Amino acid sequence: MITQQRPMILTLGDRLTLICEDDRIILMTSAMFALREFQKAMAGQAEKAGLHSDDDVVELIMQGRYGFEV
């Protein structure tokens, strides 16, 4: 059985990745595959860093840029 979840928009020179997971074969661009792997690796890292809200993220950025807390 072949199913297609959404159409792929490809341009000349795009690189594709073929992934075999359980009983499925997935075809995606290499950029999307890299983004997916990055998202998996980063899962839970914000909580570990103490970032629980948008305000926490803004405060971290302000500390990094200007060296002070908001």
Residue 69: pLDDT over 70: no
Per the CB < 8 A criterion, the answer to whether 27 and 15 are in contact is no
3-state class of 17 per DSSP? strand
**pLDDT tens-digit map of 9-61:** 889 999 999 999 888 888 999 999 999 999 999 999 988 988 999 999 999 89
What pLDDT was estimated at residue 24?
86
The span from the CA of 31 to the CA of 9, in Å, is: 12
How many angstroms separate the CA atoms of 49 and 47, rounded? Answer: 5
Q: How far is it, in rounded angstroms, from Cα 33 to Cα 29?
A: 6
Inform me whether the pLDDT recorded for 68 exceeds 80: no
Domain ranges of the chain: 16-66
What token pair was written down for 33? 């595959």
pLDDT of residue 5: 76
